[in-house]
Amino acid sequence: MSGTTVLVAGASIAGPALAHWLVRRGAEVTVVERAPELRPGGQAVDARGVTKEVIRRMGLDAAVRAARTETAGAYTVDADGAVLETFRADDDGGDGYISEIEILRGDLSRVLYDDTRDDVEYIFDDRIAELTQDTDGVDVVFASGARRRFDLVIGADGLHSALRAMVFGPREEFIRHLGRALAFYSVPNEFGIDRWLVDFQESGRSAGLRPLPDATQAMAMFSFPAADLDVDYRDVAAQKRLLRERMAGMGWLTARILEHLDDTPDFYLDQVAQVVMDRWSSGRVGLLGDAAFSSSPLSGQGTGLALVGAYLLAGELAAADWDPAVGFARYEALMRPYVEANQEIGRLHARSLEVPGPDSEPSPDFTGEWFAELIDRALNGVDLPDYAGVPDSRSTTAPTTSSAAVR
């Protein structure tokens, strides 16, 4: 054991994934989460390209695949429900519009938590209230009043990261809005949704339904232009009013889906935004996942960036013998080109959804060779060192199709 103590803020996906690798590299890990428990449900997230190799190295391939949504593909439809276009989950080798490995955010979070909870100290319903660092460590005061000292602190607390604001500056310095908002919530499956996602688009807006592992439920999905959005991301009542206003008059099944808005237990709405920073660390404090480099849901790669970033961050810190200056610098050097490719995908997707106006830029031409090259960089454009000389407490050669791989 290295004896290095690490505090991770956030227990969604990036935080528990980082905890997995930090423990394997010999660190003692505490994860603090402001929510009272793991948050269930949420939007479907995907594993594409090199991310699938990271999951395999974690020994979690079987567990992740067992929790998949099993979505067969997606249809785009007109207002009458007639199919306009079909996308299948096995398109592009499973890395297409609908990924071969697609899982609800909450289900992936549960897989990662179950994998790490015996080796990691999880503290729920608490948060970092104050933080002071020196050359040897970081003193942390929690909202509960507890005081602890750690060697390193990592913020994996999402787009609206409180740790980022505390250490690096106001959120406005780093958030880049892409001019849209997304909303998700579960509804009773009275719409006949089977294994196919259904999406309707009209005037720059979209409404959709997707299957869930519980066939009695479906996930409602909405997207709309929102360059002027100014709603507190914690004010759910105001968010629901906004969604009703922005989706008013939209065809297909939209009105029926909105009838369930007040009954859903898991409503989520937020702006589509990216986080752009010139550095992801300051002294002994670093950032990971959306807190550091959100690419937005429009990239389809937020989960991939979190999982790949967790692997590289833990590996580089351990390879640097836990020297934060060296470890953080190498992690950033490896990740940044991969991040930038995925952020470019997100920006291009946002532009393609805009309703053309007289002064609009032409929509991107996605048929060119340049786009195929960009997609490849976004899926596979990062090297995964094997860290052969770095401690690893868990064998990576266990068969990933047996229960032994899950633990």
Q: What is the pLDDT of residues 22-68, one digit of tens each?
A: 999 999 999 999 999 998 777 778 888 999 999 999 999 999 999 88
At 406 the pLDDT is 29
| Beta bridge partner(s), residue 36 | none
At 234 the pLDDT is 77
pLDDT at 2 over 70: no
Q: Region 162-169: what's the mean pLDDT?
A: 97
At 1 the pLDDT is 42
Q: Region 103-111: what's the mean pLDDT?
A: 91
pLDDT tens readout for residues 189-213: 999 999 899 999 998 899 999 988 8
* CATH 3.30.9.30 domain range(s) in the chain: 176-272
Q: What share of the chain is helix, strand, coil (3-state, %, to 5)?
A: 35, 25, 40
At 48 the pLDDT is 85
Q: Which residues contact 52 (CB under 8 A, 6 or more apart)?
A: 61, 101
**Between these two residues, 95 and 297, which has the higher pLDDT value?**
297
CATH architecture, domain defined by 176-272? 2-Layer Sandwich (3.30)
28-37, 333-342, 355-364: least confident range: 355-364
* CATH 3.50.50.60 domain range(s) in the chain: 5-39+105-174+277-355+364-381
pLDDT band at 405 (very low <50, low <70, confident <90, very high): very low
At 95 the pLDDT is 62
pLDDT at 362 over 80: no
Q: According to the CATH classification, is domain 5-39+105-174+277-355+364-381 in 3.50.50.60?
A: yes
Query: Taking the chain, what is the end-to-end CA distance rounded to the nearest angstrom?
Result: 21
At 64 the pLDDT is 93
Residue corresponding to tokens 């609009």: 360
pLDDT band at 270 (very low <50, low <70, confident <90, very high): confident
pLDDT at 18 over 80: yes
At 401 the pLDDT is 33
Task: Classify each residue of 322-354 as buried b or exposed e, where b means 16 or more C-beta atoms within 10 Å of its C-beta.
Answer: bebeebbbbbbebbeebbbbbbebbbbbbbebb
Averaged pLDDT score across all residues of the chain:
90
For residues 119, 120, 125, 126, the Cα torsion angle rounded to the nearest 10 degrees is 150
pLDDT at 241 over 60: yes
Q: Region 239-264: what's the mean pLDDT?
A: 95
CA distances (Å), origin 351, targets 103, 272, 344: 26, 12, 11
Please tell me the distance from the alpha carbon of residue 352 to that of residue 67, in angstroms, as a whole number.
32
Q: Which tokens go with 292?
A: 């550091």
pLDDT at 397 over 70: no
pLDDT at 292 over 60: yes
> What percent of the chain stands above pLDDT 90?
70
20-34, 81-95, 232-246: least confident range: 81-95
Any alpha helices (H) in 183-323, and if so which ranges?
236-247, 254-258, 290-293, 302-319
At 372 the pLDDT is 87
At 94 the pLDDT is 67
Please tell me the distance from the alpha carbon of residue 301 to that of residue 324, in angstroms, as a whole number.
27
At 42 the pLDDT is 73
pLDDT band at 98 (very low <50, low <70, confident <90, very high): low
